[in-house]
A and B are shown apart, each in its own frame.
Chain A
Amino acid sequence: MAEVILNNVSKAFGQDTALDGVSMTIPDGAFVVLLGPTGAGKTTTLRLISGLEKPDTGDILIGGRSVVNDTPAQRDVAMVFQQYSLYPHLTVHENLAFPLKSPILRTPEDEIARKVAEVAEVLQISHKLNNKATELSGGEMQRVSIGRALVRDPSIYLMDEPLSSLDAKLRSDLRVELKRIQAGLGATLLYVTHDQIEAMTMATHVGVLDQGRLVQFGTPREIYENPVSLYVASRLGLPRINTLPVALFGDAPAGAATIGLRPEHIAQGQGRDSTVTRVEHLGDQTRLHLSLEQHDIVTLTDVHTTLRPGDTVAIAPRNPLYFDTNGTRIA
């Protein structure tokens, strides 16, 4: 395991800038989650660290050593691809053993058997070991592709949305399992996802990418509670943060254009009257859709609320976030 440092890394594909001067330190043993919409540069970051792409400018260090001129094999990284990329002509067992048999590892047969069995057990695919990789369901393929990384002990694990095609139950199981494995091994892990629950629950650090630039890097809590911009604020939180014109509630710092209100940052029973448009009972929580001067607001309320569409609720901001016209946080 090792510390990985990106130093002012840029990468363009033709006219498209994929990464623009990204600097980031992934501490040894950290679980770093990269967040951002499609095209923000998350996958490119993984590919640059793995060595599948070369940066146009900037340096990448693994364990203190510059690796930009190394081949992927020399970098000793493990990667889980979004499209699984299992070797279709091999069985599950052979797929899992493939990295261990590589010329750089040359693992003895008995150790291969032991490691494969161990990983298969954790990922609940032991009964499929003799199947061809193509005879698996999507979820099983994804687990095998995670397993193919976990059999190794690389300097860093790179994972590109590894849980995206699993069903909800398996996803939450594996989320816990993956975090447990990572913590147990003290592994350094860089993880790309769209899923903010994964980001919040697994990450020690979250990096938010926007159009190739790293806009904020910090603990999940920091990113959630103290976002540097409206863009970062809207990456985390479900239901999403409500963005409203400042004028709606008055009493704002100078220069503020937008007020950002997380659903839990809306106090009920005081302030301005809004109309209930919809009540969503989700079981563990109840979402209240409100309308205030044509603006839609979503907040949470008592699970056993008796509110119905058409009712009136008074609301007021509590610990709001303020942003200027460019979306930059000012307070």
Chain B
Amino acid sequence: MSSYSITEPSKRQKWVAGVLVILYAVITIMPLIWIIATGFKSPADAISYPPKVMFEPTLEGYVNLFTTRTRVSPEALQALPPPATWYEGIVRNRDMVIAGPSRYGERFLNSVIIGFGSTFLSVFLGTLAAYAFSRFKVPLKDDLLFFILSTRMMPPIAVAIPIFLMFRTLGLSDTHLGMILLYTAVNISLAVWLLKGFIDEIPREYEEAALIDGYTRFQAFYKVVLPQAATGIASTAIFCLIFAWNEYAFAVLLTSGTAQTAPPFIPTIIGVGGQDWPAVAAGATIFLVPVMVFTILLRKHLLRGITFGAVRK
């Protein structure tokens, strides 16, 4: 046995820790790999048992995701001119022709508009509110802050029925604006509290210096506070986007056509007759990309956001 050290873990400890971390990482990433792989499988490979690790990749799932198809008789298929595009060819192999584009594109765009729209609104309003709570004498400040926090104390879906009725009366059902307002309402408390924490940590002296240097309160906020709150704003934006992007229950309940987001749409891809798992997996894979990119771009800030409050200056 080598000598015991508090600061330096032993070789065996490092090994155990390493193996545990890798194991945990594999378990965590498995569903992701499964989804991505399934998107490139043929329908037969997708449901084969035992699951195929090695398979011949195909874009059939992606083609099916973005198109609607109709089945034609073999004779009619023969009569058609040769397929003009590669995706037409993939569809013909299944005795079908492309009838038109699917609605996935629109639904995805809805997700982008609603997700980023509500994220922007939450962070924008949250920053202003957090600044006010952090810096000014607001009457009943503590009560207001508690009230804002208390909106998080129940699952949002608990108020689904009143919101459903409210939206119907106000004509907000199945509108982009309605969904943006709803997600903003859910996210705003998180945004206010997170950002207040960040802004509290920015010493007031910076603004005071700016005030004396000849700037107005708003200019001081804009030129001095905002740049320093960038970390907090970025991590708050990620949390807000992740919620709004992934939200399913309200989207199912309140949207059906114009404003339907991708999460309620993806399960409907599964189709009639056959179960088109590759298309569903393809839809999920593409759906993952924006949040993943956004998170990777801002991941330094995100880490800071997660550990926020742990280190006191």
Chain A residues with CB under 8 Å of chain B are 50-52, 71-73, 76-79, 81, 83, 85, 87-89, 98-99, 102-105, 148
Contacts and interface: CB of A to CB of B under 8 A. Distances in A.
Interface of chain B: mostly helix, strand, loop or mixed: helix
B213 A85 contact: no
Contacts of A78: 212-213
A76 B211 CA distance: 10
Given A83-B205, A85-B203, A88-B228, A99 B211 contact: no
A52 B203 contact: no
B209 A85 contact: yes
A147 to B, nearest CB: 12
A98 B211 contact: no
Contact of A98 (B203, B208, B210, B216): B210
A121 to B, nearest CB: 21
Interface residues of B, number: 16
A73 B205 contact: no
Given A77-B212, A99-B214, A148-B213, A87 B224 contact: yes
B219 interface: yes
B215 interface: yes
A102 B215 contact: yes
User: Among the interface residues B209, B210, B212, B219, which one has the most CB atoms of the partner chain A within 10 A?
Assistant: B212
Contact of B206 (A71, A79, A85): A85
B219 A99 contact: no
Contacts, number: 55
B205 A103 contact: no
B113 to A, nearest CB: 32
A179 to B, nearest CB: 23
B205 A71 contact: no
A103 B216 contact: yes
A316 to B, nearest CB: 52
B227 interface: yes
Interface in B190-230: 203, 205-206, 208-216, 219, 224, 227-228
Contacts of B216: 71, 73, 103
A79 B209 contact: yes
Given A85-B206, A88-B228, A89-B228, A103 B212 contact: no
A72 B205 contact: no
Nearest to B216: A73
Contacts of B227: 89
B219 A83 contact: no
Interface of B: 203, 205-206, 208-216, 219, 224, 227-228
A103 B203 CA distance: 23
User: Among the interface residues B203, B209, B215, B219, which one has the most CB atoms of the partner chain A within 10 A?
Assistant: B209
Given A51-B211, A72-B211, A83-B203, 4 more contacts: A52-B211, A72-B212, A81-B209, A85-B209
Contacts of B209: 79, 81, 85, 87, 148
B213 A102 contact: yes
10 contacts: A52-B211, A52-B212, A72-B212, A73-B211, A73-B214, A78-B213, A79-B209, A85-B208, A87-B224, A89-B228
A48 B203 CA distance: 19
A71 B211 contact: yes
A98 to B, nearest CB: 6
Nearest to A73: B214
A72 B215 CA distance: 9
A76 B215 CA distance: 11
A219 to B, nearest CB: 29
A129 B226 CA distance: 23
